[in-house]
Chains A and B, each alone.
Chain A
Amino acid sequence: MKIGVCVKSTPDTAITRFKYTSGNDGIDAAQVKFTVNPYDEFAVEEAARMKEAHGGEVVAVTVGDAGAGKVLRETLAVGVDRGVHVDAVNTDSLATARLLAAVARSEGFGVLFCGKVAVDDQASAVPAMVAELLGWPHVSVVTAFSTDGATFTASRAVGGGVEEVVTGALPVVITAERGLNEPRYQKLKDIMAAKKKVVGVVTPESLGVSAADLAPVVTFSAYADPPERPKGRVIPGDAAEAARELVRLLRDEAKVL
């Protein structure tokens, strides 16, 4: 079985300080280091484990520019066999979903793993759209997954400590929550072996997706920083006096006591 996994190249939030483009309508990509979206790492790991258990091929797919293609290569060292890089601009979630669905259809995936959210736009929109476009079931925020090759069982944490168990028939779109697995350590041998693996570059046209299909239905008009946090207040005076004043402020101003 071919196992698909969607990978998005997102800013490495551990080291990135964001700057906006001059028109304030996007993030200045030149200032940013990109890496695999953290939730997609769980998706990649689950795909790799499924292959190890059942055989098949793991194919990772990304939509984006050349930089995204490079980030996709990182997954080839941690269990992915082959990459598909759709060379196109991520205009909005629906356009991206159309491209990913087209790849899933042409590859004939039996399962498509995705991260539960991309940490850049936080939209959580693409996987559900892909499933809808394909007419497949979709299980989100999955923390445990198993399959016998024909049917699947997926658990999801639905809040309040309750676990919901979903069963169904393949194919299915699964989105990975933290805790689904522990992504593997990268080995030097696998990094070297990954160099021989292939990332095929495809265009929207070659997938049969027209420019009209990709016309954005959402436009992004502006980005802005959240309002600055008000400055902390220092209460002067000796300890007893300051404590009295603090209690007064908590009661009368903050109204938390």
Chain B
Amino acid sequence: MERDPDVIAGYLTDASNLRGRAEALFRPTTAHEVAAILRRAQADGVPVTPSAARTATTGSACPDGGWIVSLERMRAIVGFDGDVVAAQAGVGLADLDALLEGHGRFFPPDPTSWRSCTLGGAIATDASGARSFRYGATRRWVEALDVVLPTGDLIRARRGDPIPADWPRVQRPPSAVKSAAGYAAAADCVDVFVGQEGTLGIVTQAWVRSLPVVPVVGLFVFCPDRGVAAAMSDAARRAARADASGAVSPRCIEYFDRAALALISDLTPRAAAGAALFVEQPIVRGLDAHLGAWLELVDAVGATADDVWAATDRDGLDRMHAARHAVPARVNERLVRAGLPKIGTDLAVPDAAMSRMFDAYEAAPVPSVLFGHLGDNHLHLNLLPRSVDEVAAARAYHHALAAAAIDSGGTLSAEHGIGRVKKAWFEEFAPPDLLVSSRALKQRLDPGWILSRGVMFDAATPRGAAG
């Protein structure tokens, strides 16, 4: 147990603007140590927050008093059978990929933070990334989990293992979009512990599947305006859904608006354009077949072939990824310099609602940058207020956007989760059944509400819906 406030100070923040507090820090090395800590905490009623790389953007890794359990010393890769990797939860996604790369394989989920975040963090938040358009979020790749329940019991959950009969079932309608908002309507025992944001158990070890590396060609298509980019994205998505190994079958479709492109004009061949798409096309039919088909698509939607930057080798792809990743990084730099908070959306909507969402994003009342996962109808609108008044206007606008997204069947959070910063909105927008059943499950697994207390939802609801 570490009680030195100077050491603990390094564990009080994540990538949100929150700063937490804690009395003690544990850095266990085995599941049994984790179990012992939780048993004691449950007995004494001490809140516990699991903490990994603290890249969460929602405050979910910020402790609110009590103890921190850091997974930093549990980063061993314990097995690899050619497909499934078994690793302790604190292993970095980058370390996982380094191992897999040596065997010509990769871990499909690719949160932008993959260089720094951990496997356990990705599982706890059901992280996703650009390639999730093709491969889905982390959930799909998890085969089994070792979990220490809040009571200190250690369980091993395998795919297909039934959920114990006395665990309340989470009630929620099936989602038409990628979503990381709240507990899943779990199909088996593994599902329960993916996307739970550290509130239902501490994952100590995971077994995850991998895929063989496929060569890809990267295309960065500069478009005259949003309409052309959206038409191209729609057509590519239709083609990919119809035939996942067709000539046009991208594994990601990323969007950039004019402001986003202006931020990275030194990293791309075009100084300015109305909009752009970045796609990665796996080469499954010979490069020429893919390039020819994309060229036809480019012509058909009214873009021009001369405005398509193409990367056929590692160097070129690295340059494209650098440009893609520079957008959020440069947004953040600008805001830090201005000393103002970033207000960023993580909303996703069904196909039919995307065009209206685009209109709403583009009508933002303060300067903004719009980019992200258009293939999943999941764009990040970054509002860049220039004054305190504009901060308030931006927050209000974000709330209105969230309401519109939910209204159309979308989600409050497609990838980052709820954490502490979005729990009031979650409470406001989530179906009452979901909140009631989620609280019931939490109560059953964590009778003392010790684990990540105040993350996702609080014990009592303002509406009194928990009864």
Give me the interface of A with B, judged by CB distance under 8 Å. 12, 14-15, 17, 35, 74, 77, 184-189, 191-192, 195
- Residues on B with C-beta less than 8 A from A15 are 314
**Of B268, B269, B307, B312, which one neighbours A191 at CB under 8 angstroms?**
B312
Residue pair A35, B292 in contact (C-beta under 8 Å): no
Given contacts A14-B315, A185-B316, A191-B310, list 8 more A-B pairs with CB under 8 A: A12-B313, A35-B313, A35-B314, A186-B309, A189-B295, A189-B305, A189-B306, A191-B291
- Does B288 sit at the interface, judged by CB under 8 A? yes
Contact A188 B313 (CB under 8 A): no
Of B102, B268, B306, chain A has the most CB atoms within 10 Å of the CB of B306
B residues 249-284 touching A (CB-CB < 8 Å): 268-269
Least distance between A187 CB and chain B CB atoms (Å): 6
B312 lies within 8 A of A187 (CB): no
Chief secondary structure at chain B's binding surface: helix
B314:A188 contact, CB within 8 angstroms: no
User: With contacts A12-B313, A14-B315 known, is A188 near B298, CB below 8 A?
Assistant: yes
User: Which A residues lie within 8 Å of B313 (CB)?
Assistant: 12, 35, 74
Q: Chain B interface: which size bin?
A: 20 to 34
The docked-state distance in angstroms from the alpha carbon of A209 to that of B290 is 41
Across-interface contacts of B305 in A (CB, < 8 A) = 187-189, 192
Collect the chain B residues with CB atoms within 8 Å of residue A195's CB. Answer: 288
| CB of B379 closer than 8 Å to a CB of A | no
Residues on the A chain within 8 Å of B316, using CB: 185-186
Residues in B lying within 8 Å of A, measured CB to CB: 102, 219, 268-269, 288, 291-292, 294-295, 298, 305-316, 318-319
> Chain A residue with minimal CB distance to B316?
A186
A192 to B308, CA, bound (A): 11
Do B288 and A185 have beta carbons less than 8 Å apart? no
Closest CB-CB distance, B404 to chain A, in whole Å?
36
Q: What residues on A are CB-neighbors of B314 within 8 Å?
A: 12, 14-15, 35
CB within 8 A of B291: which of A35, A184, A185, A192? A192
14 example contacts (A-B, Cβ-Cβ < 8 A) are as follows: A12-B314, A15-B314, A185-B268, A185-B309, A187-B269, A187-B305, A187-B308, A187-B310, A188-B305, A189-B295, A189-B308, A191-B312, A192-B292, A192-B305
Residue of A nearest to B102 (CB): A17
Chain B residues within an 8 Å CB radius of A189 = 295, 305-306, 308
Give the residue name and chain of the B residue nearest to A33 (CB): B314
Closest Cβ of chain B to A34, distance in Å, is 10
10 closest Cβ contacts across the A-B interface?
A: A188-B308, A185-B269, A189-B305, A188-B310, A185-B309, A189-B306, A186-B310, A14-B314, A191-B310, A188-B305
